[in-house]
């Protein structure tokens, strides 16, 4: 469990997170769910882009309306999103080197699953604006990174070397899953329909899944492994210092402290 819940998963927040996640899963996995003989349209990805961004924003707005995100939490979210956006161009996925995910993992660990979810989405969105990477792939990247932060916040309690080992193992798995999900988002349109690695709506789900796994292994597994190695190395090397800094910021901000309003002219008890 995390030390502090900057965004508490109240009923409205939990509902928004659930709806965003279910919609995201459908957006990723629809190639494995379509009926045989379905016709693919190249306009599907832009449509998903238009539909998912409001859902992601609704997560933040619902929590703000529920009183769970105060000015301190917004400021922290802005700082970490900007820092992540600045870190990403240092790697930008070149040869699998990815420098942004370790921060999402560590912040999700410290501040909880709700904050991790929103931070993952806003970090990828900010970095896309910074690097000119806005396109139909962006909502998939945002959701994938949001789930990385969400999962980090749901990890079991651990301390010291055990915590670092847990975060490193999670980072490796999350990096590989993130790459596979991103592949799934464009695989049906990537290489046509006449190869053994292609999506074929006439095939069964298991046949298409087998073709997708072969496609992933042949095209991006090296990059995904590179992302996993980079993220694990950063977690192990910078994790102790970053975790300590984030926890210190959490204590100083006193996110969990209750706020009492006292009438003017009286002293607090």
Domains along the chain? 11-253 (1.10.1760.20)
Q: What pLDDT does residue 261 have?
A: 46
pLDDT in tens, 82-140: 998 888 777 655 556 788 899 999 999 999 888 888 899 889 988 888 877 777 778 88
Residue 37 burial (CB < 10 Å; 0-12/13-18/19+)? exposed
- Rounded CA separation 53/195 (Å): 33
Mean pLDDT of 259-264: 52
Per-residue tokens: 60: 């933040």
Q: Shortest CA distance to 104 belongs to which of 124, 89, 90, 130?
A: 124
State residue 41's pLDDT score: 54
**With bands split at pLDDT 50, 70 and 90, how would you rate the model's confidence at 174?**
very high
Q: Which two tokens stand for residue 250?
A: 């959490």
**The whole model's pTM is what?**
0.82
The Cα 133–Cα 152 span in angstroms is: 25
Give the Cα separation of 220 and 122 in Å (integer): 25
Q: How many angstroms separate the CA atoms of 83 and 104, rounded?
A: 10
Q: d(Cα 129, Cα 134) in Å, to the nearest integer? A: 6
Q: Is the pLDDT of residue 216 over 60?
A: yes
**Rounded mean pLDDT, 233-254:** 88
CB 255 within 8 Å of CB 67 = no
Give the pLDDT score at 107. 94
pLDDT in tens, 181-200: 988 888 887 777 677 888 87
């Amino acid at each position: 469990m995390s030390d502090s819940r900057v965004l508490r998963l109240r009923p409205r927040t939990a509902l928004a997170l659930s709806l965003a996640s279910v919609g995201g899963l459908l957006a990723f996995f629809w190639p494995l769910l379509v009926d045989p003989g379905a016709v693919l349209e190249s306009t599907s990805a832009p449509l998903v882009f238009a539909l998912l961004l409001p859902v992601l924003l609704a997560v933040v707005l619902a929590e703000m309306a529920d009183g769970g995100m105060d000015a301190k939490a917004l400021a922290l979210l802005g700082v970490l999103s900007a820092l992540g956006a600045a870190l990403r161009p240092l790697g930008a996925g070149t040869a699998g080197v990815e420098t942004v995910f370790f921060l999402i993992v560590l912040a999700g660990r410290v501040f909880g699953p709700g904050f991790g979810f929103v931070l993952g989405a806003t970090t990828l969105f900010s970095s896309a604006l910074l690097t000119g990477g806005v396109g139909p792939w962006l909502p998939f990247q945002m959701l994938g990174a949001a789930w990385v932060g969400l999962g980090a916040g749901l990890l079991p309690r651990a301390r010291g070397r055990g915590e670092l080992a847990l975060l490193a193992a999670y980072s490796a798995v999350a990096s590989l899953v993130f790459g596979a999900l991103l592949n799934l988002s464009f695989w049906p349109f990537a290489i046509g329909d006449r190869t053994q690695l292609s999506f074929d709506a006439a095939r069964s789900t298991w046949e298409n899944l087998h073709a997708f796994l072969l496609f992933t292994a042949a095209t991006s597994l090296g990059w995904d492994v590179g992302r996993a190695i980079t993220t694990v190395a950063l977690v192990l090397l910078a994790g102790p210092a970053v975790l300590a800094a984030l926890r210190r910021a959490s204590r100083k901000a006193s996110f969990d402290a209750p706020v009492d309003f006292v009438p003017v002219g009286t002293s607090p008890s």
